[in-house]
Protein backbone atom coordinates (compact mmCIF):
# COMPACT_ATOMS: atom_id res chain seq x y z
CA UNK A 1 0.00 0.00 0.00
CA UNK A 2 3.09 2.19 0.24
CA UNK A 3 2.20 4.26 3.30
CA UNK A 4 5.35 5.70 4.88
CA UNK A 5 6.01 4.26 8.34
CA UNK A 6 9.01 6.39 9.27
CA UNK A 7 9.03 10.14 9.73
CA UNK A 8 6.26 12.65 8.90
CA UNK A 9 4.41 12.94 6.68
CA UNK A 10 3.12 9.51 7.57
CA UNK A 11 -0.38 8.19 7.28
CA UNK A 12 -3.53 9.63 8.77
CA UNK A 13 -4.79 7.01 11.15
CA UNK A 14 -7.94 6.75 13.20
CA UNK A 15 -7.60 4.62 16.34
CA UNK A 16 -10.90 3.66 17.98
CA UNK A 17 -10.72 2.70 21.64
CA UNK A 18 -7.75 5.08 21.95
CA UNK A 19 -8.20 5.55 25.71
CA UNK A 20 -8.09 1.81 26.32
CA UNK A 21 -5.20 -0.47 27.22
CA UNK A 22 -4.13 -1.56 23.73
CA UNK A 23 -5.55 1.41 21.79
CA UNK A 24 -3.58 3.98 23.80
CA UNK A 25 -0.37 1.96 23.41
CA UNK A 26 -0.92 1.68 19.66
CA UNK A 27 -1.75 5.40 19.33
CA UNK A 28 1.51 6.29 21.11
CA UNK A 29 3.53 4.05 18.80
CA UNK A 30 1.86 5.54 15.72
CA UNK A 31 2.48 9.13 16.84
CA UNK A 32 6.11 8.25 17.67
CA UNK A 33 6.39 6.80 14.14
CA UNK A 34 5.45 10.17 12.62
CA UNK A 35 1.78 9.48 11.86
CA UNK A 36 -1.18 11.75 12.48
CA UNK A 37 -3.65 10.04 14.75
CA UNK A 38 -7.26 10.79 15.57
CA UNK A 39 -8.09 8.83 18.72
CA UNK A 40 -11.76 8.07 19.33
CA UNK A 41 -13.21 6.78 22.58
CA UNK A 42 -16.42 7.27 24.57
CA UNK A 43 -14.81 6.25 27.88
CA UNK A 44 -17.29 3.52 28.76
CA UNK A 45 -17.59 2.69 32.49
CA UNK A 46 -16.51 -0.96 31.97
CA UNK A 47 -13.60 -0.05 34.28
CA UNK A 48 -12.43 3.10 36.05
CA UNK A 49 -12.66 6.05 33.68
CA UNK A 50 -9.82 7.75 35.58
CA UNK A 51 -7.51 4.96 34.39
CA UNK A 52 -8.65 5.51 30.79
CA UNK A 53 -8.05 9.25 31.03
CA UNK A 54 -4.56 8.64 32.40
CA UNK A 55 -3.84 6.32 29.44
CA UNK A 56 -4.24 9.44 27.28
CA UNK A 57 -1.90 11.62 29.38
CA UNK A 58 1.16 11.22 27.15
CA UNK A 59 -0.87 11.62 23.96
CA UNK A 60 -2.91 14.74 24.58
CA UNK A 61 0.14 17.02 24.39
CA UNK A 62 1.47 15.40 21.19
CA UNK A 63 1.28 17.50 18.03
CA UNK A 64 0.25 14.47 15.96
CA UNK A 65 -2.68 13.44 18.16
CA UNK A 66 -6.29 14.62 18.36
CA UNK A 67 -8.79 13.09 20.77
CA UNK A 68 -12.49 12.82 19.98
CA UNK A 69 -14.92 11.75 22.70
CA UNK A 70 -17.55 9.95 20.63
CA UNK A 71 -19.62 6.78 20.79
CA UNK A 72 -19.40 4.73 17.59
CA UNK A 73 -22.90 3.39 18.19
CA UNK A 74 -24.49 6.75 17.38
CA UNK A 75 -21.92 9.38 16.35
CA UNK A 76 -21.22 10.72 12.85
CA UNK A 77 -18.62 8.08 11.93
CA UNK A 78 -18.17 9.33 8.36
CA UNK A 79 -17.17 12.73 9.75
CA UNK A 80 -14.59 11.03 11.98
CA UNK A 81 -13.03 9.21 9.06
CA UNK A 82 -12.60 12.24 6.81
CA UNK A 83 -9.11 12.08 5.25
CA UNK A 84 -8.23 8.83 7.05
CA UNK A 85 -5.89 6.37 5.32
CA UNK A 86 -6.16 3.60 7.89
CA UNK A 87 -8.62 2.81 10.67
CA UNK A 88 -7.46 0.72 13.62
CA UNK A 89 -10.69 -0.46 15.24
CA UNK A 90 -9.94 -1.41 18.83
CA UNK A 91 -13.04 0.03 20.52
CA UNK A 92 -15.15 -2.64 22.11
CA UNK A 93 -16.70 -4.02 25.26
CA UNK A 94 -14.11 -6.56 26.46
CA UNK A 95 -14.25 -9.42 28.96
CA UNK A 96 -16.16 -12.67 29.07
CA UNK A 97 -17.84 -12.63 32.45
CA UNK A 98 -20.19 -9.66 32.09
CA UNK A 99 -21.36 -10.70 28.64
CA UNK A 100 -24.07 -13.04 29.97
CA UNK A 101 -27.70 -12.13 30.70
CA UNK A 102 -28.56 -8.41 30.69
CA UNK A 103 -24.95 -7.51 29.94
CA UNK A 104 -25.31 -8.82 26.39
CA UNK A 105 -26.95 -5.66 25.06
CA UNK A 106 -23.80 -3.63 25.74
CA UNK A 107 -21.67 -6.27 23.99
CA UNK A 108 -23.95 -6.38 20.96
CA UNK A 109 -23.96 -2.58 20.72
CA UNK A 110 -20.28 -1.82 21.35
CA UNK A 111 -18.91 -4.81 19.44
CA UNK A 112 -21.32 -5.54 16.60
CA UNK A 113 -23.35 -2.42 15.86
CA UNK A 114 -20.37 -0.06 16.33
CA UNK A 115 -18.27 -2.20 13.96
CA UNK A 116 -20.99 -2.28 11.29
CA UNK A 117 -21.34 1.53 11.45
CA UNK A 118 -17.58 1.93 11.20
CA UNK A 119 -17.27 -0.41 8.22
CA UNK A 120 -20.11 1.34 6.40
CA UNK A 121 -18.43 4.71 6.91
CA UNK A 122 -15.01 3.30 5.88
CA UNK A 123 -16.56 1.98 2.67
CA UNK A 124 -18.11 5.36 1.85
CA UNK A 125 -14.89 7.21 2.68
CA UNK A 126 -12.69 4.87 0.60
CA UNK A 127 -10.48 4.14 3.60
CA UNK A 128 -7.45 2.15 2.42
CA UNK A 129 -7.35 -0.34 5.28
CA UNK A 130 -9.44 -1.25 8.34
CA UNK A 131 -7.66 -3.30 10.99
CA UNK A 132 -10.07 -4.93 13.45
CA UNK A 133 -9.08 -6.15 16.93
CA UNK A 134 -10.65 -9.61 16.99
CA UNK A 135 -10.00 -12.19 19.66
CA UNK A 136 -8.88 -15.75 20.34
CA UNK A 137 -12.31 -16.08 21.98
CA UNK A 138 -13.78 -16.79 18.52
CA UNK A 139 -12.33 -20.33 18.75
CA UNK A 140 -13.88 -21.34 22.08
CA UNK A 141 -12.35 -24.64 23.22
CA UNK A 142 -10.34 -25.20 20.04
CA UNK A 143 -9.99 -28.68 18.50
CA UNK A 144 -6.16 -28.49 18.34
CA UNK A 145 -3.15 -26.46 19.53
CA UNK A 146 -1.44 -24.33 18.43
CA UNK A 147 -4.70 -23.31 16.79
CA UNK A 148 -4.52 -22.18 13.15
CA UNK A 149 -6.89 -19.61 11.68
CA UNK A 150 -8.81 -22.23 9.68
CA UNK A 151 -9.80 -24.17 12.82
CA UNK A 152 -13.51 -24.46 13.59
CA UNK A 153 -15.02 -21.40 15.25
CA UNK A 154 -17.25 -22.12 18.21
CA UNK A 155 -17.16 -19.27 20.75
CA UNK A 156 -17.72 -20.32 24.36
CA UNK A 157 -19.06 -16.98 25.62
CA UNK A 158 -21.50 -14.31 24.44
CA UNK A 159 -18.47 -11.96 24.23
CA UNK A 160 -16.82 -14.36 21.76
CA UNK A 161 -20.00 -14.48 19.70
CA UNK A 162 -19.99 -10.67 19.34
CA UNK A 163 -16.27 -10.61 18.42
CA UNK A 164 -16.88 -13.29 15.78
CA UNK A 165 -19.95 -11.47 14.41
CA UNK A 166 -17.85 -8.31 13.97
CA UNK A 167 -15.08 -10.35 12.33
CA UNK A 168 -17.66 -11.75 9.87
CA UNK A 169 -18.81 -8.18 9.17
CA UNK A 170 -15.20 -7.29 8.26
CA UNK A 171 -14.87 -10.19 5.84
CA UNK A 172 -18.26 -9.55 4.24
CA UNK A 173 -17.43 -5.86 3.66
CA UNK A 174 -14.20 -7.10 2.05
CA UNK A 175 -16.01 -9.69 -0.10
CA UNK A 176 -18.93 -7.51 -1.18
CA UNK A 177 -17.37 -4.05 -1.38
CA UNK A 178 -13.64 -4.67 -1.72
CA UNK A 179 -12.99 -2.89 1.59
CA UNK A 180 -9.46 -3.86 2.66
CA UNK A 181 -10.05 -5.30 6.13
CA UNK A 182 -7.64 -7.30 8.28
CA UNK A 183 -8.85 -8.98 11.47
CA UNK A 184 -6.27 -9.77 14.11
CA UNK A 185 -7.19 -12.41 16.67
CA UNK A 186 -5.37 -11.18 19.76
CA UNK A 187 -4.51 -13.80 22.39
CA UNK A 188 -4.57 -12.58 26.07
CA UNK A 189 -2.71 -9.29 25.89
CA UNK A 190 -0.74 -8.08 28.92
CA UNK A 191 1.75 -5.36 29.83
CA UNK A 192 1.65 -1.79 31.17
CA UNK A 193 -1.95 -0.37 31.39
CA UNK A 194 -3.52 -3.81 31.24
CA UNK A 195 -7.23 -3.72 32.10
CA UNK A 196 -7.89 -4.18 35.83
CA UNK A 197 -10.32 -7.07 35.26
CA UNK A 198 -7.66 -9.25 33.60
CA UNK A 199 -5.96 -12.06 35.54
CA UNK A 200 -2.38 -10.80 35.19
CA UNK A 201 -3.37 -7.34 36.48
CA UNK A 202 -5.32 -8.77 39.43
CA UNK A 203 -2.47 -11.15 40.20
CA UNK A 204 0.26 -8.50 40.26
CA UNK A 205 -1.97 -6.09 42.23
CA UNK A 206 -2.66 -8.84 44.80
CA UNK A 207 1.04 -9.72 45.12
CA UNK A 208 2.18 -6.12 45.57
CA UNK A 209 -0.56 -5.23 48.05
CA UNK A 210 -0.41 -8.48 50.03
CA UNK A 211 -4.07 -9.27 49.30
CA UNK A 212 -5.29 -12.79 48.48
CA UNK A 213 -5.78 -13.62 44.80
CA UNK A 214 -9.16 -15.14 43.87
CA UNK A 215 -8.34 -17.89 41.37
CA UNK A 216 -11.21 -18.96 39.14
CA UNK A 217 -11.20 -22.74 38.73
CA UNK A 218 -8.41 -25.25 39.42
CA UNK A 219 -5.52 -23.24 37.96
CA UNK A 220 -4.94 -25.66 35.09
CA UNK A 221 -6.38 -23.27 32.48
CA UNK A 222 -3.72 -22.44 29.88
CA UNK A 223 -3.38 -19.00 28.28
CA UNK A 224 -1.15 -17.83 25.44
CA UNK A 225 0.03 -14.46 26.77
CA UNK A 226 0.99 -11.76 24.28
CA UNK A 227 2.94 -8.65 25.26
CA UNK A 228 1.27 -5.36 24.34
CA UNK A 229 4.28 -3.97 22.42
CA UNK A 230 4.23 -7.06 20.20
CA UNK A 231 0.50 -6.55 19.65
CA UNK A 232 0.96 -2.86 18.77
CA UNK A 233 3.72 -3.75 16.30
CA UNK A 234 1.58 -6.43 14.64
CA UNK A 235 -1.35 -4.02 14.44
CA UNK A 236 0.76 -1.30 12.80
CA UNK A 237 2.10 -3.83 10.29
CA UNK A 238 -1.45 -4.93 9.52
CA UNK A 239 -2.27 -1.31 8.73
CA UNK A 240 0.42 -0.93 6.10
CA UNK A 241 1.39 -4.32 4.65
CA UNK A 242 -0.10 -5.58 1.40
CA UNK A 243 -2.31 -8.53 2.38
CA UNK A 244 -5.50 -9.87 0.80
CA UNK A 245 -8.67 -7.99 1.77
CA UNK A 246 -10.56 -9.90 4.44
CA UNK A 247 -7.44 -11.53 5.93
CA UNK A 248 -7.74 -13.02 9.43
CA UNK A 249 -4.57 -13.61 11.48
CA UNK A 250 -3.68 -14.87 14.94
CA UNK A 251 -1.51 -12.58 17.05
CA UNK A 252 -0.24 -14.78 19.87
CA UNK A 253 2.75 -14.53 22.16
CA UNK A 254 3.79 -18.18 22.01
CA UNK A 255 3.98 -18.45 25.79
CA UNK A 256 1.22 -20.87 26.73
CA UNK A 257 1.25 -21.15 30.53
CA UNK A 258 -1.07 -22.56 33.19
CA UNK A 259 -2.50 -20.20 35.79
CA UNK A 260 -0.65 -22.17 38.48
CA UNK A 261 2.70 -21.52 36.75
CA UNK A 262 1.76 -17.89 36.12
CA UNK A 263 1.07 -17.40 39.84
CA UNK A 264 4.58 -18.64 40.60
CA UNK A 265 6.14 -16.40 37.93
CA UNK A 266 4.34 -13.33 39.25
CA UNK A 267 5.17 -14.09 42.89
CA UNK A 268 8.84 -14.38 41.98
CA UNK A 269 8.80 -11.21 39.81
CA UNK A 270 7.18 -9.30 42.69
CA UNK A 271 9.45 -11.01 45.26
CA UNK A 272 6.35 -11.59 47.40
CA UNK A 273 4.47 -14.74 48.35
CA UNK A 274 0.94 -14.91 46.97
CA UNK A 275 -2.04 -16.20 48.89
CA UNK A 276 -4.45 -17.91 46.50
CA UNK A 277 -8.19 -18.35 47.23
CA UNK A 278 -9.79 -20.90 44.94
CA UNK A 279 -13.22 -19.84 43.66
CA UNK A 280 -15.54 -21.57 41.17
CA UNK A 281 -14.64 -21.64 37.47
CA UNK A 282 -16.46 -18.91 35.52
CA UNK A 283 -18.93 -19.72 32.78
CA UNK A 284 -17.52 -18.66 29.41
CA UNK A 285 -13.85 -19.23 30.34
CA UNK A 286 -12.16 -21.71 28.00
CA UNK A 287 -9.72 -24.38 29.20
CA UNK A 288 -6.86 -23.46 26.93
CA UNK A 289 -5.71 -20.97 24.30
CA UNK A 290 -2.64 -21.24 22.08
CA UNK A 291 -2.34 -19.71 18.65
CA UNK A 292 -0.23 -20.58 15.63
CA UNK A 293 1.48 -17.44 14.29
CA UNK A 294 2.78 -18.99 11.07
CA UNK A 295 0.35 -16.94 8.95
CA UNK A 296 1.24 -13.65 10.69
CA UNK A 297 4.90 -14.42 9.96
CA UNK A 298 4.15 -15.22 6.33
CA UNK A 299 1.86 -12.24 5.61
CA UNK A 300 3.19 -9.54 7.95
CA UNK A 301 6.71 -10.75 8.74
CA UNK A 302 5.64 -10.57 12.40
CA UNK A 303 6.66 -12.75 15.29
CA UNK A 304 6.42 -12.09 19.04
CA UNK A 305 9.65 -10.73 20.53
CA UNK A 306 8.92 -10.43 24.25
CA UNK A 307 9.03 -13.56 26.39
CA UNK A 308 6.76 -14.00 29.37
CA UNK A 309 9.26 -13.21 32.16
CA UNK A 310 10.50 -10.04 30.45
CA UNK A 311 6.90 -8.96 29.84
CA UNK A 312 5.83 -9.67 33.41
CA UNK A 313 8.81 -7.65 34.68
CA UNK A 314 7.64 -4.68 32.55
CA UNK A 315 4.09 -4.94 33.87
CA UNK A 316 5.24 -5.26 37.50
CA UNK A 317 7.37 -2.13 37.06
CA UNK A 318 4.30 -0.27 35.74
CA UNK A 319 2.19 -1.38 38.75
CA UNK A 320 4.93 -0.28 41.16
CA UNK A 321 5.21 3.16 39.53
CA UNK A 322 1.44 3.63 39.64
CA UNK A 323 1.24 2.54 43.29
CA UNK A 324 4.06 4.95 44.19
CA UNK A 325 2.34 7.89 42.48
CA UNK A 326 -1.01 6.99 44.13
CA UNK A 327 0.73 7.02 47.51
CA UNK A 328 2.30 10.40 46.73
CA UNK A 329 -1.11 11.83 45.79
CA UNK A 330 -2.71 10.44 48.98
CA UNK A 331 0.03 11.85 51.25
CA UNK A 332 0.32 15.24 49.49
N1 LIG B 1 -6.89 -7.24 26.07
C2 LIG B 1 -6.94 -8.44 25.48
O3 LIG B 1 -6.34 -9.42 25.94
C4 LIG B 1 -7.75 -8.62 24.21
C5 LIG B 1 -7.75 -9.88 23.61
C6 LIG B 1 -8.49 -10.06 22.44
C7 LIG B 1 -9.16 -9.00 21.86
N8 LIG B 1 -9.14 -7.79 22.47
C9 LIG B 1 -9.88 -6.69 21.84
O10 LIG B 1 -9.01 -5.59 21.71
C11 LIG B 1 -9.72 -4.36 21.88
C12 LIG B 1 -9.06 -3.51 22.94
O13 LIG B 1 -9.06 -4.23 24.18
P14 LIG B 1 -8.50 -3.59 25.53
O15 LIG B 1 -8.10 -4.71 26.40
O16 LIG B 1 -7.55 -2.50 25.20
O17 LIG B 1 -9.87 -2.99 26.13
P18 LIG B 1 -10.18 -1.56 26.77
O19 LIG B 1 -11.51 -1.69 27.41
O20 LIG B 1 -9.04 -1.09 27.62
O21 LIG B 1 -10.29 -0.61 25.49
C22 LIG B 1 -11.46 -0.53 24.70
C23 LIG B 1 -11.84 0.95 24.61
O24 LIG B 1 -12.94 1.08 23.71
C25 LIG B 1 -13.80 2.12 24.19
N26 LIG B 1 -15.12 1.89 23.60
C27 LIG B 1 -15.95 0.83 23.81
N28 LIG B 1 -17.08 0.98 23.10
C29 LIG B 1 -16.96 2.14 22.41
C30 LIG B 1 -17.81 2.82 21.50
N31 LIG B 1 -19.03 2.36 21.21
N32 LIG B 1 -17.40 3.98 20.96
C33 LIG B 1 -16.17 4.49 21.29
N34 LIG B 1 -15.32 3.89 22.16
C35 LIG B 1 -15.73 2.72 22.71
C36 LIG B 1 -13.77 1.95 25.69
O37 LIG B 1 -14.13 3.12 26.38
C38 LIG B 1 -12.31 1.54 25.94
O39 LIG B 1 -11.50 2.65 26.29
C40 LIG B 1 -11.17 -4.76 22.21
O41 LIG B 1 -11.93 -4.71 21.03
C42 LIG B 1 -11.04 -6.19 22.69
O43 LIG B 1 -12.22 -6.94 22.44
C44 LIG B 1 -8.44 -7.56 23.63
Q: Which of 107, 132, 139, 159 is an active site residue?
A: 159
Residue 330 binned pLDDT confidence (cut-offs 50, 70, 90): low
Q: CATH for 12-187+228-251+290-305?
A: 3.40.50.720
Angstrom distance (rounded) from CA 27 to CA 64 = 10
Q: pLDDT by residue (tens digit) across 119-133? A: 999 999 999 999 999
Would you state the pLDDT for residue 201? 98
Interval 295-322 mean pLDDT = 98
Residue 331 binned pLDDT confidence (cut-offs 50, 70, 90): low
**pLDDT beyond 90 at 301:** yes
Residue 7 binned pLDDT confidence (cut-offs 50, 70, 90): very low
Nearest-atom index, ligand 1, CA of 43: 37
CA of 94 to the centre of ligand 1 (A): 6
Interval 106-114 mean pLDDT = 98
Give yes or no: 47 in active site.
Answer: no
Query: Would the CB of 92 count as within 6 Å of ligand 1?
Result: yes
Hey, whose CA ends up nearest to atom 43 of ligand 1?
94
Interval 295-301 mean pLDDT = 98
Which among 22, 24, 26 is the best mutation to test ligand 1's pocket, defined by most ligand atoms within 8 Å of the CB? 22
DSSP secondary-structure letter at 254? S
CA of 61 to the centre of ligand 1 (A): 23
Residue 204 binned pLDDT confidence (cut-offs 50, 70, 90): very high
Interval 103-126 mean pLDDT = 98
CA of 302 to the centre of ligand 1 (A): 22
Would you state the pLDDT for residue 206? 97
Angstrom distance (rounded) from CA 311 to CA 317 = 10
Amino acid sequence: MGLAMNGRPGMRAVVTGAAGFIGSTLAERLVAGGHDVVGVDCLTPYYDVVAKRSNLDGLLDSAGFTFVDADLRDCDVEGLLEGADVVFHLAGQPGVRLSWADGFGDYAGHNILATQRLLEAAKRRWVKRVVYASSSSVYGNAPSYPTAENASLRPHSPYGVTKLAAEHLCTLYADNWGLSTVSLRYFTVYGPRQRPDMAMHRLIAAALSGQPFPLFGNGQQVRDFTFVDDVARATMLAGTTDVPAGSVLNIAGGSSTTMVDLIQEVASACERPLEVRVTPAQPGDVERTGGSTALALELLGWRPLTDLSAGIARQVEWHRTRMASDTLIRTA
